[in-house]
Amino acid sequence: MSIPLHLVTGFLGSGKTSFLTHYLKKAGAGQHIAIIQNEFSPVNIDGRQFTRHGEYNVLEINNGSVFCVCLLGSFVGSLLKFIEKYNPDLLLMETSGLSDTIGVGQIFQSKELAGKVYLDHVWCIVDAKHFDKVPALKLRLDHQLRSADTIILNKVDLVENTDELMEQIRTINPFARIMKGTFGQISLDTQKKALNLFPSDQNEALGRPDVGSYVIRSNQPINREKLTAFFDRFKTDCMRCKGYVKMNDGNTLMMQGVMGDLNTEPIRDYSGNTEFVIIGHFRKDENLQVVFDEYCKA
C-alpha cells in the first residue's frame, strides 16, 4: 500500500519545525507518523525534539544530501529501508530551507518508490518579515512557492501589512491556498490535495546553493556579552543560526536567529555542550570555530 507523504518546505527560519510540531499535535492523533528531516548542515538540531521522547520515528538526511544527484540513490535506499521497518500511515518530510522543491519532488517519482510513497500535499512556510531579504536566492524561493498546495504566511504578527506580500505570492502561485499564521499555527480542518506531479520538462532543478554551513561545538562556556559580540561580527553574513549555547552562569540557551534577528531562551532539558548551526555567506579564509573559541576564552 502506498504511503502518503507531506512535504514541508520554506526558507531558512520561516517556521517549518514549528509548523511540523503544530501539525503533529493537531492532526497526528491516531496515526502512525514518521518524519524525514533534510538538513543543509552536517547535524540535525531540530530532529532531537521529535526523538527525545521516542514518540516518532525520524529519518535524518544531513549535510544536504538530497541536493546532490550522486547521493539520490543513497537517499532512496535509506527511505525504502525506513518505511519497510516502521510501515507508517503518513510520512512528513521537512526539507532544508535551502532545498529546491522541484528537485526534491521529482525524487518521489522514481521507479524504486513507485507504488510505495506518493506525494499527497506540499506545504510552503513563508517568513512574512524576511521574505525579500535574500534576492540572490529568489529563484529557489519561487520554486518552493510554485510547488505548494498550501502556503502559510507565517510571523504575520511581526509585520504591519501583508497585502503586498500576498499579491507577490499570488503572482508566483495563483492556485495555492494561502493561510496566515503565527508560530507555524493554522487551522488544519481542510486541505487541498497535491497534483502528485513535478513536471521535469517545465522546471529544471537547481543545484546546491553557494552558501556555507558550519557546525560550532564547544565545551567551554561563554558569557552573554561575548556571545552577542560573536554574532554581531557575522550579523551581515548570517542567514540562519539555531542550536544550543552553554553559558558561564550555568544555563544553556536555545538559540534561533534569522538574518539580523537573534532570539534566545533558557532551556532545561538539555545537558550537552554548545552545538549550533550557522548558515550564510562567510569568508573562506575565516574559521568560525576558531573565532568562537577565541570569544569563549576572552
Q: Say which CATH number the domain at 35 has.
A: 3.40.50.300
Most confident of the following: 105-114, 132-141, 147-156, 276-285: 147-156
Count the domains in the chain.
2
**Model confidence over 71-118: pLDDT tens digits?**
556 778 888 998 999 888 889 988 877 776 766 766 776 778 877 888
In a domain, 239, yes or no: yes
Where would I find the beta strands (DSSP E) of 226-280?
238-246, 252-258, 261-266, 274-280
Residues 229 and 137 both lie in one domain: no
Q: What value does the mean pLDDT of the chain take? A: 79
For residue 154, what are the contacts with CB-CB under 8 A and spacing of at least 6?
10, 14, 15, 18, 19, 125, 126, 127, 128, 181, 182, 183, 184
In a domain, 205, yes or no: no
Residues 12 and 141 both lie in one domain: yes
Q: Is the predicted pLDDT of residue 203 greater than 70, yes or no?
A: no
Residues 165 and 29 both lie in one domain: yes
In a domain, 193, yes or no: no
Residues 27 and 117 both lie in one domain: yes
In a domain, 36, yes or no: yes
Q: Is the predicted pLDDT of residue 225 greater than 90, yes or no?
A: yes
What's the average model confidence in pLDDT over 58-81?
66
Q: Is the predicted pLDDT of residue 6 greater than 70, yes or no?
A: yes
Task: Tell me the β-bridge partners of 195.
Answer: none
Residues 175 and 217 both lie in one domain: no
Q: Is the predicted pLDDT of residue 237 greater than 60, yes or no?
A: yes
Distance CA 264, CA 224 (A): 10
Phi, psi of 31 (to 5 degrees): -115, 145
In a domain, 148, yes or no: yes
Residues 160 and 76 both lie in one domain: yes
**Parent domain of 145:** 3-180
Residues 87 and 220 both lie in one domain: no
Phi, psi of 212 (to 5 degrees): -90, 145
What pLDDT shows up at residue 163? 93
Q: Which residue has the cell 491516531?
A: 30
